[in-house]
Chains A and B, each alone.
Chain A
Amino acid sequence: SQQGEEDPQALSIQEGENATMNCSYKTSINNLQWYRQNSGRGLVHLILIRSNEREKHSGRLRVTLDTSKKSSSLLITASRAADTASYFCATLTAMNRDDKIIFGKGTRLHILP
């Protein structure tokens, strides 16, 4: 079953605006990561937030985590054309004795010139 679910599925904004994507999950997690995928390419790691953290920054990226609501958000400030990509959240959860990483279906972000 799907763990992380991104919202919205697709988002179009003007260059320079901020883009916000959300991720909800169902079970307890160890950490949550966000990845970017340019069209037809592999995934690139953006940022990791641990379950005991509430907010994390990396350049123009800001990630929040609310474990009580089982949700995370990724904010990209001052968007650029190069930010056009799909964004995935991935949750690390321990199931039995095994760590398991589960990816959501992604949000397609399109930055309009």
Chain B
Amino acid sequence: DVKVTQSSRYLVKRTGEKVFLECVQDMDHENMFWYRQDPGLGLRLIYFSYDVKMKEKGDIPEGYSVSREKKERFSLILESASTNQTSMYLCASSHRALSGNTIYFGEGSWLTVV
């Protein structure tokens, strides 16, 4: 059974803290994605990676960075968390050629910044 695992389901962090959100997939997918989901705004792409050590900015990369040291793992980093980063974060993965391929999502990480 295919699986995208997000390490933390619920987190509460203080303003200014450094936050790591970890994602692991077991499908040998080349592509990995980080989205955030907010009410009324839908899913917005933060960063994606199409290979190890490769990364591309999505639509809202400001305030975030990512790391892809191994093919199966994609980390989202909030260098200095702010209250406007309170959100649901979704990790996803797919094979390289998006055409005809499904994107698989993790269960999401609810982050609250206080």
Contact = CB atoms under 8 A, between A and B. Distances in A.
A31 B90 contact: no
Contact of B41 (A30, A40, A41, A105): A105
A25 interface: no
Interface residues of B, number: 22
Contact of A45 (B90, B97, B104): B104
A30 B108 contact: no
Contact of A105 (B42, B92, B110): B42
Contacts of A105: 40-42
Contacts of B74: none
B42 A2 contact: yes
Most buried by A among B42, B102, B106, B107: B42
A103 B35 CA distance: 10
B30 to A, nearest CB: 12
A49 B45 CA distance: 22
Contacts of A35: 105
A8 to B, nearest CB: 14
A33 B92 CA distance: 15
Interface of B: 4, 35, 40-43, 56, 88, 90, 92, 97-100, 102-108, 110
